[in-house]
Structure 1
């Protein structure tokens, strides 16, 4: 994955150290140099921004709506006992047709918050 490759590229060898000497004789701790490199990595910054937008959108939802999101989008519930939608409905105690109404209502609620998502980050 591209993000993992960028993380490895940004990492510095060696564990803890007193830091490298810079002009003027000051030491920059290795952890600080690592964080500076991460902050300057555009892919990681874009990925972080996407995560912040999703987290913000989820905060706008009620607990019940967040539970729906968790079941509907983040769990694979398909089984021999029914379709994904049927199982989500059973878990939440709602009819199968209501699952689609919930989905539409939640998407309409969070869509404005997600407009800034960068689709180029995977």
Structure 2
């Protein structure tokens, strides 16, 4: 695989992980909280009836809203794709992702915590980023 493609896939993987933790997860949580508050606490929606006269439960209506909203579905699919990738990582790789993206530690701090050479930490991080970029685009695994 050429160098430019490898760097592009690593950059994409890096951007996806950052977006997942800092944008997608908080946004989905915010939307879910809002919808649950509006739908589950709405006396009007408790009155919704289905064909035949039975009432739709607020929980069913909430699920319908989520199922019908294309933006919500896209966000959910993107989160599921990232989570499928992250689930396939080793425990050591998950720790590296947590330290770097969630805790915001620099490579030197991660290296110290993991008792690994900084070059190895960077190589592992680049590997994860490249693999995610390849996974996301269908380009296959990047070394």
Q: CA RMSD in A?
A: 2.8
CA distance in 2, matches of 1:5, 1:20: 22
Matched, 1:35 2:63: yes
Are 1:89 and 1:96, in contact at CA under 8 Å, matched by a contact in 2?
Answer: yes
Are 2:108 and 2:118, in contact at CA under 8 Å, matched by a contact in 1?
Answer: yes
Q: Cα deviation per residue 1:29-73 (whole Å; 9 max; x = unaligned)?
A: 121111101111111111111110111111221111111111112
- Which residue does 2:121 correspond to in 1? 99
- Which residue does 2:131 correspond to in 1? 109
- Provide TM-score, normalisation by structure 2: 0.62
- Provide TM-score, normalisation by structure 1: 0.72
Give the match's secondary structure for 1:58.
helix
CA distance in 1, matches of 2:130, 2:67: 33
Are 1:56 and 1:113, in contact at CA under 8 Å, matched by a contact in 2?
Answer: no
Matched, 1:57 2:79: no
CA distance in 1, matches of 2:96, 2:31: 33
Match of 1:86 among 108, 114, 120: 108
Matched, 1:8 2:57: no
Structure 1 stretches lacking a partner, 5+ long? 78-83, 117-122
Runs of 4+ in 1 over 4 A off after TM superposition: none
CA distance in 2, matches of 1:50, 1:62: 21
Structure 2 stretches lacking a partner, 5+ long? 1-25, 139-143
